[in-house]
Structure 1
């Protein structure tokens, strides 16, 4: 937990700087692929994901350590060869877990957040799941366990493997020559994120593209078929917490409404998009029919609201950095209370970006939640020890946030006219 938190203290600012660089690069080149509202939603999603992971809010059904202990035929030292084997093993496992997430209803809910953006940029790489509570990833690492790859090697390689998937989420890099046959490139991954019929459910590879070539899921990017991004059932919200549970909500509704008991169970394990015939007829859901002619989600926001949303994001980034850097000092259950504030804050300001009429209530709830801890402890999780007087600055921010949330909510109709 603490080790991962320390890694993120370096990774989070680095990713943030690269996202901003891509935006300014796009503006300079006349092709801005990073709209502010989309970027803020993506970065806030990344914050909820890393908070969940650092706090360990997941249930691992089978750990790699257990597999290694029970199945390992060898006990080998951690040489560079072993690290290379571990990297390939992780990528093989990543291919299959990724593919399964796209092919079965029950697993798509864990992955929809990553595809929910109707843009394709570095920021959308950070749209990662908080709904994946039960993890089965280690099952696909059986070959590595057989070979005796030590658990500590997997623990080091796994974050590197994850972070190495960031760079290819961009439209500013074209095809890359011979590398197209070996590694996953931006061209390959643009195909994967596209909803064009020709591109759907292709290119599941995470680092190496040859898995797709070997297992029949490869599709090259075709210049005559420009990629259109998103999901075929648009999420229509900037709120990453809502997005994380949208598909699950639909499955629960469909299972409840289905007349046949068999369909109530079957729906979970059927291919993605399958719905009981009776439910699909009585309760149709909106789906994009023509990928080249549909309206992207983009509720009109004033410049002031966009600026304020960005400020909210920056405040959260600072608070997360403090949390990850002081996990041991804050201790339990404090870190979980702190994490609760992060989730509540993201929910509140993305509801405001969605222009929902009850957004102000969520911001007041966020403020009340934080004030409770400030009043009962006299501080915000020892923040004043790092920066004297910080608790008063934080309290001022909470007051300002509540006021602006009410202000923007009440001006909703005027914003519609302006936009």
Structure 2
């Protein structure tokens, strides 16, 4: 008994004293992806593991954690015409996303951070790899073959990883992320979903994969087919448990860890508290980190401000300019807003959002009714999910600043509907 106790004690001491050496490759430059990814790697560093993280977003180093920036950005996001986004259609949405990923990959592979990644010769105990279409980086898994690999996706489970994870996803049951249809699809909607799914799969295998194979081999040298490299011992998906995603059968190695970035809000800064003083409720509008409100057409901005000015409550709008002409007194604009602190505030009665996955998750976590205005990618399906769950309404980009926009806000505000909705979401 004594020997057994000593052996167990030594194993425990060794485990506590020995941190793993981890390489993380997280190339997606979107800030919302970085929020999710960095929660994971920083939690590992806090537990004493040593990490080197090649990230599409810059971040500050901390004990046990060193970030290397893979320069590159979704440059299209800042210049895209909002009118064209609103009329993309599902196939245009597919082409936009695939094209943006490819163009960003090309930039990142030429970055200084990539050169440091290629120079790495040391061995690692674990690789964390972001599996969201940036397949030009799959050469990393070949370079360090034999190392245990964890795949992660802030995007949730999607067409990017269905085949790699061997997920059973019949189009009759699971809407594709690019198509805004309800979870209970009609026959015609199922047919449309099936057709678009085949188009996406053909694009994925015949266009996307060969292009990324060429990019990867230009930098990593000769490689096996890159799809054969995408093998994970464990896969962590930003899906579930807040109710945004449909239930599905998952392999044992796939774990849903949705909303790990969600947290209780902190006290708001003084400028917000002073602005909200003596108000019973307020609205928060933000289109996330990739869509800039300041790049909306000027007439749309003015129409939105006019709609807000007619309200008898205040509005906080994440807006990326110092000022905007003709701003009503009941509207505050700010370049950067502490989103979760705002969402957690008890006086918030409505969140107007682009429908990004993290934003919708956080709103559901804090029990805030949603007015979703999707722009592209999975935002359309997320917005439809808001409607299906009965926690909000959805408009198109073309409705921004128009009569429908004002009517939707009025509908959500009437008879304290917001606060009733907040209670029902929380329950």
Q: TM-score range by the shorter chain?
A: under 0.3
Bigger fraction of residues in helix: 1
- Where relative contact order (Cα < 8 A, 6+ residues apart) is larger, the structure is 1
- After TM superposition, the score normalised by the length of structure 2 is 0.25
- After TM superposition, the score normalised by the length of structure 1 is 0.26
